[in-house]
């Protein structure tokens, strides 16, 4: 293979990576510090003086982190004992050994953007870990929950739609089933617009009916491989029924709140339509990128749905809890999802996770961060094939479902990216455009 293009970095002035580290990242850190401070009385009430001291310590560590970022200080080794600390510190040593040869420093604006952005969230986690007894406090929890609560009307619309669809699903012919499959996947795609890290933690809830806007959003899908997804699953359904075999679909989740609802509605439909027989949901093991899903977010959302007086919400919550208890749905997390590594290194750094994904019949990677890790966050040309940019990562047939919020995109037709740039220069960072990019090669 030809030499890989360089990774994006905040040293490129005018780039979205630079804008993120200069503006968005400090804004997110400021909000984290403010959130922590707002809970100081709660920590005191719960833990007494020890809780108050813990808040002061975390506040101090996060303020120090904010200063390091703003002044482009060298990255420091982690000081906690979390399960991944050694991996992070070895990675830092590795970068040091490479850059020292070129007399460059490992710092916030000089190092790869993917690395330093992940490092910031890991340092936020470190600040809490070193501040017992408030170590399990999720500084992003309220933002995620607010996103869910503010999206209630859209969520009700989707839950009603799902239940009406499921009750009559046996009567749908193949063409009708395909149409519903496409519709719900598009809802899952546009649900990815609700990204709190892009908005710096500001509200990004879904207000419009997600069903009503699908037709007008179709022109903004730049790569649409939905036919390939349909062919894979419908053909497998036909052969599986003859052989009594299972079909497993994995979701590599992105945002909690409204987007998570759209993903679970898709997962529910896959079961109801028998396009899948088991669903695996992969989330983060720690709070991550402001709004990324972890186990507590999933559990909280299901409890909220079950506690609702609205029938469709209650029934979805009860059904989804049942699927999880029966292991028809399996929730999994792994520390690899919160490492800075691109996915082509998974078989080396997390062979157990890679082997697990190889059991899947289709892996759906949700969102922008997953896309960046799939293609290495590199300065690829727009026309480089998706398969090539995956750089050997092929555990199973996979599809990226992503609204575009970072300056990396492959698999476009000749001139397509340049044409959009002419009319919409900021198109790569707004979430206005989306892709369904499939790779079936192993």
The pTM of this model reads 0.96
367 φ/ψ angles, rounded to the nearest 5 degrees = 90, 175
Angle between helices 152-167 and 141-150 (to 10 degrees): 60
Q: With a cut of 70, say whether residue 202 has pLDDT above it.
A: no
For residue 29, is the peptide bond before it cis, meaning its omega torsion is within 30 degrees of 0? no
113 φ/ψ angles, rounded to the nearest 5 degrees = -60, -45
Could you read off the pLDDT of 267-277 as tens digits, one per residue?
999 999 999 99
Q: With a cut of 90, say whether residue 204 has pLDDT above it.
A: no
- The string of DSSP letters for 300-351 reads HHHHHHHT-SSHHHHHHHHHHHHHHHHTSEEEEE-GGGGSS--GGGHHHH-H
DSSP 218: G
Q: Is 136 exposed, middle or buried (0-12, 13-18, 19+ CB in 10 A)?
A: exposed
DSSP SS3 for 421: helix
Longest dimension (CA), the chain: 67
Q: What is the pLDDT of residue 101?
A: 59
**Bridge pairing between strands 434-439 and 398-403:** antiparallel
Q: What is the pLDDT of residue 358?
A: 98
Least confident of 38-42, 238-242, 380-384: 238-242
Could you read off the pLDDT of 63-122 as tens digits, one per residue?
999 999 999 999 999 999 999 999 999 999 988 887 665 666 789 999 999 999 999 999
Could you read off the pLDDT of 127-163 as tens digits, one per residue?
999 999 999 999 999 999 999 999 999 999 999 999 9
Torsion of CA 434, 411, 181, 292, to 10 degrees: -50
Going 371 to 374 to 376 to 379, the CA torsion angle's sign is negative
Domains of the chain with bracketed CATH? 16-129 (1.20.930.60), 141-439 (3.40.50.10880)
Confidence of residue 196 (pLDDT cuts 50, 70, 90): very low
Find the mean pLDDT for residues 175-202: 80
Yes or no: say if 336 and 218 are a contact pair by the CB < 8 Å rule. no
Could you read off the pLDDT of 32-48 as tens digits, one per residue?
999 999 999 999 999 99
Distance CA 406, CA 430 (A): 8
Rg (CA), the chain: 22
What is the residue-averaged pLDDT of the chain? 94
Distance CA 44, CA 273 (A): 51
Yes or no: say if 217 and 231 are a contact pair by the CB < 8 Å rule. no
**Bridge pairing between strands 362-366 and 434-439:** unpaired
- The string of DSSP letters for 142-185 reads HHHHHHHHHTHHHHHHHHHHHHHHHHTGGG--HHHHHHHHHHHH
């Amino acid at each position: 293979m030809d030499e890989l293009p360089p990774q994006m970095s905040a040293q490129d002035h005018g780039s979205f990576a630079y804008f993120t580290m200069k503006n968005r990242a400090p804004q997110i850190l400021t909000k984290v510090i403010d959130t922590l401070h707002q809970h100081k009385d709660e920590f005191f009430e719960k833990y007494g003086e020890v809780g108050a001291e813990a808040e002061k310590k975390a506040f101090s560590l996060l303020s120090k982190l904010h200063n390091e970022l703003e002044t482009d200080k060298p990255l420091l080794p982690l000081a906690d004992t979390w399960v991944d600390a050694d991996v992070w510190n070895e990675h830092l040593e590795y970068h040091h050994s490479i850059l020292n040869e070129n007399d460059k420093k490992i710092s916030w604006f000089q190092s790869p953007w993917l690395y330093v952005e992940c490092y910031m969230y890991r340092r936020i986690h470190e600040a809490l870990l070193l501040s017992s007894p408030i170590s399990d406090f999720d500084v992003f929890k309220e933002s995620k929950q607010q996103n869910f609560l503010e999206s209630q009307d859209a969520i009700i619309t989707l839950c009603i739609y799902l239940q009406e669809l499921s009750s009559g699903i046996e009567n749908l012919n193949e063409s009708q089933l395909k149409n519903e499959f496409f519709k719900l996947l598009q809802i899952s795609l546009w649900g990815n617009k609700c990204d709190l890290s892009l908005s710096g933690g500001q509200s990004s809830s879904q207000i419009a009916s997600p069903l009503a806007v699908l037709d007008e959003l179709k022109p903004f899908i730049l790569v649409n491989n939905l036919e390939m997804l349909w062919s894979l699953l419908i053909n497998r359904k036909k052969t599986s029924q003859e052989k009594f075999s299972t079909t497993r679909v994995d979701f590599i989740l992105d945002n909690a709140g409204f987007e998570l609802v759209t993903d679970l509605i898709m997962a529910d439909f896959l079961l109801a339509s028998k396009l899948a027989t088991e669903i695996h949901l992969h989330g983060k093991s720690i709070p991550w990128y402001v709004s990324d899903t972890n186990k507590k977010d999933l559990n909280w959302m299901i409890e909220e749905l079950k506690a609702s007086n609205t029938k469709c919400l209650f029934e979805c919550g009860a059904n989804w809890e049942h699927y999880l208890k029966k292991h028809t749905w399996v929730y999994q997390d792994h520390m690899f999802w919160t490492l800075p590594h691109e996915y082509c290194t998974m078989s080396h750094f997390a062979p157990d996770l890679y082997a697990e994904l190889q059991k899947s019949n289709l892996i759906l990677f949700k969102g922008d961060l997953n896309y960046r890790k799939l293609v290495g966050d590199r300065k690829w040309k727009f026309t480089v094939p998706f398969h090539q940019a995956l750089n050997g990562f092929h555990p199973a047939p996979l599809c990226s479902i992503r609204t575009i919020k970072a300056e990396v995109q492959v698999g476009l037709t000749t001139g397509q990216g340049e044409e959009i740039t002419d009319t919409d220069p900021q198109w790569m960072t707004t979430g206005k455009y989306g892709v369904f990019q499939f790779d079936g090669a192993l």
